[in-house]
Structure 1
């Protein structure tokens, strides 16, 4: 299948300090050589800890900020070579849903004005039909047309996010970047928004880049997952393969933190110890080696390459083949295996069983209160 979006070697460093003469003396290496592809109608999830560069990547893809190096190609076109007019036309094909529904909507505009603005900007619908199109968009995201006369402050967080989704859909895009779209919402509302996104993807054949730190959410929606650590991708695979058999030590630690929807189930969490590196001065070699129990001298001096096997499962780790199999790390019966005891001893801690609720499958209903 031909890739809709191709990202190659993307780099973005922000100036953190300047000298008295204005010269840059320190940089935050937010994104440092990120590459991935997104196919039409599929979802790629970017996951990792806060500050790993996920949101910066999403803004670089849309050219909301300019990269220092690398390329982004959409349907074969190099976005870096587009002039202002061509870039404006591209924005019809690619939209973004921001994390905070309270900050992403203009409080001085009604819902009708918010949804009409992109229609007028791209001249998609004649003025006489714009009211009808606004009503169609509201129904599409499960809201009643009468809400068009209201202002954002009159809605709940879930309703606001539905309005933000409707705004993204107004220009009929092919790609939508979802930047933590449910992290600010209650758990029950999250499931409705997630199911809405999946339903819209099936109906409209949309491609998503789903940015999140919540792996339980990612498991529910993603087709493919890229795990980021300190500005780089350390593992990428189909979602089913990555959740069944994570290969990178960092991916395994993240997956061990997913809550189990069984209050009495035993679950072992891998607690990372060691020095947390700074993006201002990332360590030489593998950027995870300061917290990795398997680090050797080579890890401290040589940066591992992201290498894929025949199945497309790629890992950036010098010792992938030497790690214990994932089945022995988190046994299916929830107990503790000898391999797990050894691994947790290396990490230095054993966490108690997690309690939590998994993502449910409640379908959004038209006119619902969320």
Structure 2
């Protein structure tokens, strides 16, 4: 049984238009199906407006789809009982793109990381503090960062705080929603290396939502390409992706800049 199964998900949004009696339905997701196995990372690649964020919300239980089914650990997340939903929430975590808006600016790093532990674990104050320090060290921060507030961290450091919070309950699956797109290239590389290490150490599975082809292939076992709400193809290797003749994939490949500026075309 797959850890996560997305079965024939469809979703549309109402779009009110001036001078028309009826609302127009905009298709956000169209018959989406795929699965994620334990210990694997599925990259979901697409341009802005492709439906990536909507699909992420559907998988996280934030946006109920109009049709289709999301099975996590064999349970339908939208039809499970309260106790099961609570268990599923523990095992399904998320790291968003904007590290600053994902945290309470009035909370210290210690309190931010402690939130899930307070909700799900029965720990003493000392045990919780020890756990938070261990989590900080695992994301390459330290005990001296415990009492710092979000504005005292760089964007990359704060994203590490968000990652520490996400792994605090040792979840089965983490949805990474453009989680490295707002940091510089050096920091992005460091965070991707961190995520790969955590995946191995904790046996994590990821859904890596991104528009960045290089980032996707640096961490993903399988790549899905989303375009205008449709999952057009799944690729099991970089060779499969780069040999694809699908027009959308061809356009994506053409948009990648060469590594050295002298080989970049002004028309790319």
Instruction: Give matches, 1:296-307, under 5 Å.
Output: none
Change (3 A) 1:160 1:24: farther
Match of 2:28 among 27, 30, 50: 30
Contact 1:225 1:242 in 2 (8 A): no
Cα deviation digits, residues 165-218 of structure 1 (max 9, x gap) = 001011110100000011110111110011100111011111000000010111
In the other structure, the counterpart of 1:3 is: 2
CA contact (8 A) 2:97 2:182 kept: yes
Tell me what 1:229 maps to: 227
How far does residue 145 in structure 1 lie from its aligned partner after superposition? 1.2
> Which residue matches 2:171?
173
Partner secondary structure for residue 199 of structure 1: helix
1:66 aligned to 60, 64, 67, which one? 64
Q: Which runs of 4+ in 1 moved over 6 A?
A: none
The structure that has the greater radius of gyration is 1
C-alpha distance in 2 between matches for 1:128 and 1:26: 56
Tell me if 1:84 matches 2:82. Answer: yes
Task: Give the deviation of 1:58 after TM superposition.
Answer: 1.0
1:28-66 superposed Cα distances (whole Å, 9 cap, x missing partner): 211121111111111101111101101111110110111
Q: How does 1:115-154 map to 2 (within 5 A)?
A: 115-154=113-152
Task: Determine which of 182, 188, 197 is the counterpart of 1:199.
Answer: 197
Change (3 A) 1:254 1:19: closer
Does structure 1 retain, via aligned residues, the 8 Å contact 2:242–2:253? no
Give the Cα separation in 2 of the matches to 1:201 and 1:167: 15
When you count helix as a share of all residues, which structure comes out higher? 2
Contact 2:94 2:176 in 1 (8 A): yes
> Which residue pairs with 1:112 in the alignment?
110
Q: TM-score, normalized by length of structure 1?
A: 0.69
Q: Which residue of 1 aligns with 2:53?
A: 55
Describe the superposition over 1:47-97 as per-residue Cα deviations: whole angstroms up to 9, x where unpaired: 111011011111101101111110011122221211333212211111000
Q: Deviations over 1:217-262 (max 9, x none)?
A: 1121111000011001111111323333123111111012112213
| Aligned residues of 2:177 and 2:209 also touching (Cα < 8 A) | yes
Structure 1 residue 190 corresponds to structure 2 residue 188? yes
| TM-score scaled by length of structure 2 | 0.94
Q: CA deviation at 1:112?
A: 0.9
Separation in 2 of the partners of 1:219 and 1:82? 34
CA distance in 1 between counterparts of 2:85 and 2:183 reads 32
Q: Gaps (5+ residues) in structure 1?
A: 268-350, 355-370
Aligned mates of 1:116, 1:60 — CA distance in 2: 26
SS at match of 1:15: strand
Aligned-residue offset at 1:123: 2.4
Superposed CA RMSD: 2.0
| SS of the residue 1:3 aligns to | coil
Q: 1:95 to 1:24 in 2, by over 3 A?
A: farther
Once residues 177 and 105 of structure 1 are traced to their aligned partners in structure 2, the CA distance between those partners, rounded to angstroms, is 17
> Partners in 2 of 1:234 and 1:228 — Cα distance?
6
The range that moved more, 167-176 or 127-136, is 127-136
Cα pair 1:41 1:206 within 8 Å, conserved:
yes
**Structure-2 residue corresponding to 1:158:** 156
